[in-house]
């Protein structure tokens, strides 16, 4: 059974710092991996999706990498801002037809000004 | 207007009552999903539908049922609500024909409290 783990569970940084959020998964046979952002009391917003054949994806100050063989992904946030404060969720889709996402429990990020 | 809408946004009900949560989407996506989110447990999949005639159980389907009334509508029912079904429920969609297939788009969530 696929399990997704995110470390740390919570992170506090001052504004301007670069930071890395970690995601690991137990079964390397994934179809793709997706990073989401969730603001308190709200739904999820997709940030980046990495296909299993890709190594990384970038969007603005965000960069997500994927090392499928080791079962790891990282989300790098450059020059953090208070508006980046949210919970970040990692999710994988198994390498099978007819399956949906398996989520980690998230990392709650707080960026202070 | 939001692409994925959920109604109601908040609901309080009593143990044993039947309730329905509704999800509608204007994105034209073929796939729809229901998840629940609990503190400390993350999001878990309840049911998913890959088209109107295709319904699949997820990780935690017991106590729930779904109906895909149309491509744009996917409803989740709790036949007899119990307190441990208190959670935040999310609907999501995805489009297999998209340039980045399987990117999921989430609704704003329904907060359910079962007393």
Write out pLDDT tens, residues B22-46. Answer: 999 998 999 999 999 998 788 999 9
pLDDT at B7: 96
For position B48, what pLDDT does the model report? 92
pLDDT at B2 over 80: no
Which of B33, B42, B111 is opposite residue A104, by nearest beta carbon?
B42
Beta-carbon contacts of B12 under 8 Å, excluding residues fewer than 6 positions away, are B112, B113, B115
A105/B contact by beta carbon, under 8 A:
yes
pLDDT at position B39: 82
Residues belonging to chain B with any Cβ–Cβ distance to chain A shorter than 8 Å: 4, 33, 35, 40-45, 48, 50, 56, 58, 90, 92, 100, 102-109, 111
Pairing of strands B10-13, A107-112: unpaired
Q: Say whether pLDDT at B73 is over 60.
A: yes
**Across the interface, do A103 and B41 touch by the CB < 8 Å criterion?**
no
> Does the beta-carbon distance from B102 to A44 stay under 8 Å?
no
Average pLDDT over residues B76-99: 92
Question: pLDDT value at position B95?
Answer: 86
- Give the mean pLDDT per block of 10 residues along chain A (113 residues): 92 96 94 92 88 93 96 97 96 72 93 95
pLDDT score recorded for residue B42: 83
Using pLDDT thresholds of 50, 70 and 90, give the confidence band for residue B85.
very high
- Is B94 within 8 Å of B31 (Cβ atoms)? yes
Predicted confidence at residue A68, as pLDDT, reads 93
From A4, which residue of chain B is nearest by alpha-carbon distance? B42
pLDDT of residue B79: 92
Question: Own/partner pairs for B68-75, CB < 8 Å, 24+ apart?
Answer: B68/B32, B71/B28, B71/B29, B71/B30, B72/B24, B72/B25, B72/B26, B72/B28, B73/B22, B73/B23, B73/B24, B73/B25, B74/B23, B74/B32, B74/B33, B74/B34, B74/B49, B75/B20, B75/B21, B75/B22, B75/B23
Q: Which of B40, B44, B90 sits opposite A44 (nearest CB)?
A: B90
Please tell me which residue, B40 or B10, carries the higher pLDDT value.
B10
Nearest to A100 among B48, B105, B106 (CB): B48
Average per-residue pLDDT in chain B?
A: 92
Average pLDDT, integer, range B46-71: 93
What pLDDT shows up at residue B97? 80
Contacts of B109 in chain A (CB under 8 A): 41-43
């Amino acid at each position: 059974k696929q399990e997704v783990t995110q470390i740390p569970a919570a992170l506090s940084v001052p504004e301007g710092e670069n930071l890395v959020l970690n995601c690991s998964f137990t079964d390397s046979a994934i179809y793709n991996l997706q990073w989401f952002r969730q603001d308190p009391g709200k739904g999820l917003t997709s940030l980046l999706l990495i296909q299993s054949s890709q190594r990384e994806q970038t969007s603005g100050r965000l960069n997500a990498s994927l090392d499928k063989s080791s079962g790891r992904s990282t989300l790098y946030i450059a020059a953090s801002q208070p508006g980046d404060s949210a919970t970040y969720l990692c999710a994988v889709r198994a390498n099978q037809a007819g399956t949906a996402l398996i989520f980690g429990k998230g990392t709650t990020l707080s960026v202070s000004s | 207007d939001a692409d994925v809408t959920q109604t109601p946004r908040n609901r309080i009900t009593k143990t044993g009552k039947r309730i329905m949560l509704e999800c509608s989407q204007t994105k034209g996506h073929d796939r729809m999903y229901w998840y629940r989110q609990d503190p400390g447990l993350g999001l878990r999949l309840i049911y998913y539908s890959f088209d109107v005639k295709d319904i699949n159980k997820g990780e935690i389907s017991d106590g729930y049922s779904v109906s895909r009334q149309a491509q744009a509508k996917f409803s989740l029912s709790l036949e007899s609500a119990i307190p441990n079904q208190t959670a935040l429920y999310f609907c999501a969609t995805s489009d297999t024909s998209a340039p980045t297939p399987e990117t999921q788009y989430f609704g704003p969530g329904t907060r359910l409290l079962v007393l």
